[in-house]
Amino acid sequence: MEQHRRYWEDTYLFEVETEVIEVCEEPAPGIAVRDGIVHPKGGGQPDDVATVDSRPVSVSKDPGAVWLHPEGTLPAVGDPVHVAIDPEVRRRHAALHSAGHLLDACVLPLGFVNVGLSHTPGQAFLLYDVDGGTLPDGEEAKASLIAAVLDRALELVAADLPYAAEVDADGVRRVTIEGLQTDPCGGTHVRTTGDLTDIEITRVRTKKGQLKLSYTAEHA
């Protein structure tokens, strides 16, 4: 079985006519399709909201494929199916994930190293250990940190830097913001930093020697 991970290639491919390449019964009845446009939960990014032939599906994954689990009778191997995802959900997930990379690129030079993250709507955050920097002490210092990070982020949004991805010789997909930063990543991303808007750091917390930045962002 070989599934083509189309969501790695085109964030804005919202529907596709494809075919079933495998059917499973365990641990839950489901299908794998040749053209995989549905992003599964992972890397801090939630599942897409998807349908198969207009039927809502849940999503799971294993090392070989993304599985779609519709209710009712499953199509057979070789059957044509129409797979679609919710465009607004995909765009928001891509914006949050892309903004996470952008903000991270603004925080790392301040003397921190990323040790955790989430790109889930309403729960997005970046978590850091100190790496030569200083944890902000008090509300004034936190406000100063927010201002520095956001000022730099907005400069980079105005620069309209492209996001690009490639899979290396070891099969690891790496996402690059041109001239800025490259990270291993399996998520969906906007085309350029200029596609991002309403980037905000909503909270700064320090605890047990770590820095946690909660944030929001939207697709322009």
Mean pLDDT across the stretch 159-173? 95
Q: Are 93 and 49 in contact (CB under 8 A)?
A: no
Q: Which CATH number fits domain 89-219: 3.40.50.11890, 3.40.190.10, 3.40.50.970, 3.30.980.10?
A: 3.30.980.10
**Domain made up of 4-85: CATH architecture:** Beta Barrel (2.40)
- What pTM, to 2 d.p., does this model score? 0.95
d(CA 10, CA 151): 29
d(CA 1, CA 63): 12
pLDDT at 100 > cutoff 80: yes
Q: Are 49 and 14 in contact (CB under 8 A)?
A: no
pLDDT at 26 > cutoff 90: no
pLDDT at 76 > cutoff 90: yes
The domain locations on the chain are: 4-85, 89-219
d(CA 90, CA 188): 8
Q: 131-147, pLDDT tens digit by residue? A: 999 999 999 999 999 99
Q: Are 8 and 186 in contact (CB under 8 A)?
A: yes
Percentage with pLDDT > 90 across the chain: 96
d(CA 61, CA 166): 21
- Confidence label for 1 from pLDDT (cuts 50, 70 and 90): low
Q: 193-219, pLDDT tens digit by residue? A: 999 999 999 999 999 999 999 999 999
- Confidence label for 27 from pLDDT (cuts 50, 70 and 90): confident
pLDDT at 92 > cutoff 90: yes
Query: pLDDT at position 81, please?
Result: 98
Supply φ then ψ for residue 67, to 5 degrees.
-110, 140
How far CA 106 is from CA of 24, 88, 96, 211, in Å, comes to 44, 27, 15, 14
